[in-house]
Amino acid sequence: MNVFGVDIGGSGIKGAPVDLERGDLVEPRHKVLTPHPATPESVADGVVEVVRHFGWSGPVGITFPGVVTGSVIRTAANVDKKWIDVDAGQLLGDKLNLRVTVLNDADAAGVAEMAFGAGRGRKGTVFLLTFGTGIGSALFADGKLVPNTELGHLELHGHDAEKHASTKAKEDEDLSWHHWAHRVQKYLAHVEMLFSPELFIIGGGVSRKAEKFIPLIEGIKAEIVPAELQNNAGIVGAAMAAAGR
């Protein structure tokens, strides 16, 4: 069964049809840059461009980088604040003239990793953390998702943790892998102190370079592994949500 997934991020909007039996993309994903300002209308236009690139006409799952309740956006840290209180399901469904399902971006990635990737068969407390423009989080207790945790906004050194330890912070401050890994280590230690997870799955685009920083992280009791689906996890999880999985 194939369903379309779209992943809206702070820097890019990407999507592709997904084979839900394999948990993999049917075709190479298509990506457009996230517009700035990332208003509801401009981002919706980007989503339409991605979906129409494939001539898709079925259900579509769409991730959003913020808290989503039902299909209403409640927070918008890395896109325009005009998104807050917008019914994204209605807006995007009307734009596409298709049935859409909207969910938090890290939750989508986490669901995909738990079904098809590094979290398969894992019980206890598991975190999927996506490092990119911000830091997204998905929390699982014995395989069940606790939605919309958004722990990139935990306070660390007086600021949102994602301002200190995201991939964007690494790029903006031109940090070495060693320096950035130390920041990630402090963030993981804070999350571990609060939740005592058995496993951290590190996702986002930087997961492709896991060997450059995960071995540098020390003093964390939980196992730390890269996301197996890497930066496609959000697309796969969005498609799963659209299929009711």
CATH number of the domain to which 195 belongs: 3.30.420.40
Q: Mark whether 93 and 32 lie in a shared domain.
A: yes
Does residue 70 form part of some domain?
A: yes
Quote the domain boundaries for residue 44: 2-107+232-243
Helix (H) or strand (E) holding 14: strand 12-19
Does residue 136 form part of some domain?
A: yes
pLDDT at res. 201? 98
Bridge pairing between strands 144-146 and 155-156: unpaired
Q: Extract the tokens encoding 97.
A: 């003239």
pLDDT at res. 157? 85
Nearest CA among 66, 10, 57 for reference residue 33: 10
Nearest CA among 130, 125, 121, 160 for reference residue 141: 125
- 3-state SS, residue 99: coil
| Regions of the chain with pLDDT less than 50 | none
pLDDT at res. 245? 87
pLDDT at res. 200? 98
Does residue 213 form part of some domain?
A: yes
Q: Mark whether 130 and 152 lie in a shared domain.
A: yes
Q: Mark whether 95 and 28 lie in a shared domain.
A: yes
Please, which residues bridge with residue 137 across strands?
129
Q: Mark whether 197 and 181 lie in a shared domain.
A: yes
Q: Extract the tokens encoding 209.
A: 């370079």
Q: Mark whether 11 and 29 lie in a shared domain.
A: yes
Q: Mark whether 129 and 68 lie in a shared domain.
A: no
Does residue 25 form part of some domain?
A: yes
Q: How many domains does the chain have?
A: 2
Q: Mark whether 90 and 156 lie in a shared domain.
A: no
Does residue 206 form part of some domain?
A: yes
Q: Mark whether 86 and 127 lie in a shared domain.
A: no
Q: Which pTM value belongs to this model?
A: 0.95
Q: How many CB atoms lie within 10 A of CB 193?
A: 8
Q: Mark whether 161 and 175 lie in a shared domain.
A: yes
pLDDT at res. 222? 98
Q: Mark whether 27 and 74 lie in a shared domain.
A: yes
pLDDT at res. 172? 97
